[in-house]
Amino acid sequence: MTQARGNVFLAGVGGQGALLASEVLGEAFLLGGYDVKKSEVHGMAQRGGAVTTHLRYGPKVFSPLIEPGTADLLIAFEKMEALRFAHFLSPEGAAVVNAQEIMPPSVATGRERYPERIEERLAGVTPNLYMVDALAAALSLREVRAVNMVMVGAASRLLPLPETCYLEALRGRLPERIVGVNEKAFRAGRALLAPRGAGR
């Protein structure tokens, strides 16, 4: 649990709450005593398009962008988006991937097929692949919009912060009336991944 610096790459589809997830993570690292930089793109890209966030932490961070091949953790909110950005992972990096499939327009209109064998292809990129069903976890809480906090919870197992940082960040970032369900979602996500040994 002594990673001095790290790069976390988040990928999802507009509307999945990936930006809010990255807000909570960024705030959690700041609470954990790290310098933090985080970059994303708003506006046109958000309308159902691919959404990415670059989050970097360490004693002092310069670039807000992660370079390909250097991400320690890829948090993907959608399966194909995981594969699209898997080349950002470092050879030792880990990926937490939501098994959910969201059809892009070309697939939804029958012009292309949703790619097959994604899990296999991901496993070829990283030896540390964690597939999770965040949608099912969120639906079991009757809040489809909580997929993002389930993913934060799952990913938190692979990050060097105590649980309190995430929960404090979450409470600071969300309107009070939805804090409860999001805390539950975070814990549900955390339960999806077994705790990792110290020293990673």
Partner 1 sequence: MSVPAREKVELLSGNEAIARGAHEAGVTVASAYPGTPSTEILENFARYEGVYAEWAPNEKVAVEVAHGASMAGARALAVMKHVGVNVAADPIFTASYTGVRGGFVIVTADDPELHSSQNEQDNRHYAVAAKIPMLEPSDSFEAKEFTRLAFALSERFDTPVFLRSTTRISHAKGAVRLGEVSGPPPALGFVRDPAKWVMLPDNARRRHAIVEERMRSLAEFAETFDGNRIEWGDRELGVITAGVSYQYVREAFPEASVLKLGMAHPLPSRLVREFAAGVSRVVVVEELDPHIETHVKALGVPVQGKEIIPIVGELSPRIVRDGISGKSVPVHPAEGLPGRPPNLCPGCPHRGLFYVLNRLKVTVAGDIGCYTLAALPPLGGMDTCVCMGASLGNAFGIEKALGKAALGKVVAVIGDSTFLHSGITPLIDIVYNRGFTTVIILDNRTTAMTGAQENPATGRTLMGEPTRRLDLAALCRAVGVDHVYTVNPHDMARTEAVLRRELFRGEPSVVITEAPCVLLPDHRRKKRPVYEVIPDLCTGCMACSKLGCPAIEWVPFTPEEAVAAGKKGSQKGMARINPLLCDGCNQCPPLCKFQAILEKKD
Q: Distances from the Cα of 78 to the Cαs of 54, 126, 172, in angstroms?
A: 16, 17, 26
Q: CA 90, CA 74: separation in Å to the nearest integer? A: 10
Pick from 4, 60, 177, 198 the residue near partner 1 by CB under 8 A: 60
Asked if 45 interacts with partner 1 (CB under 8 A), we say yes
Q: CA 2, CA 109: separation in Å to the nearest integer? A: 48
Residue in 85, 189, 84, 174 with CA at minimum distance from that of residue 130: 189
Q: Which stretch binds partner 1 (CB under 8 A): 25-33, 148-156, 174-182, 190-198?
A: 25-33
Q: For the segment 92-111, give every residue that binds partner 1 (CB under 8 A).
A: 103-111
Q: CA 110, CA 58: separation in Å to the nearest integer? A: 45
Asked if 46 interacts with partner 1 (CB under 8 A), we say yes
Task: Output the smallest distance, CB 185 to partner 1, in A.
Answer: 16
Task: Output the smallest distance, CB 186 to partner 1, in A.
Answer: 19
Q: H-type helices in 91-178, by residue range? A: 105-108, 118-125, 134-140, 147-156, 163-173
Task: Output the smallest distance, CB 14 to partner 1, in A.
Answer: 7
Asked if 71 interacts with partner 1 (CB under 8 A), we say no
Pick from 9, 17, 27, 170 the residue near partner 1 by CB under 8 A: 27
Asked if 113 interacts with partner 1 (CB under 8 A), we say yes
Element (DSSP H or E) covering residue 22? helix 18-31
Q: DSSP letter for 115, please.
A: P
Task: Output the smallest distance, CB 156 to partner 1, in A.
Answer: 18
- Binding-residue pattern over the window 128 to 157 for partner 1, x denoting contact by CB under 8 A: ----------------x-------------
Element (DSSP H or E) covering residue 13? strand 6-13
Q: Are 31 and 169 spatial neighbours (Cβ–Cβ below 8 Å)?
A: yes
The residues that touch partner 1, with contacts defined as CB under 8 A, are 13-15, 26-27, 30-31, 33-50, 59-65, 67-69, 80-81, 83-87, 103-115, 121, 144
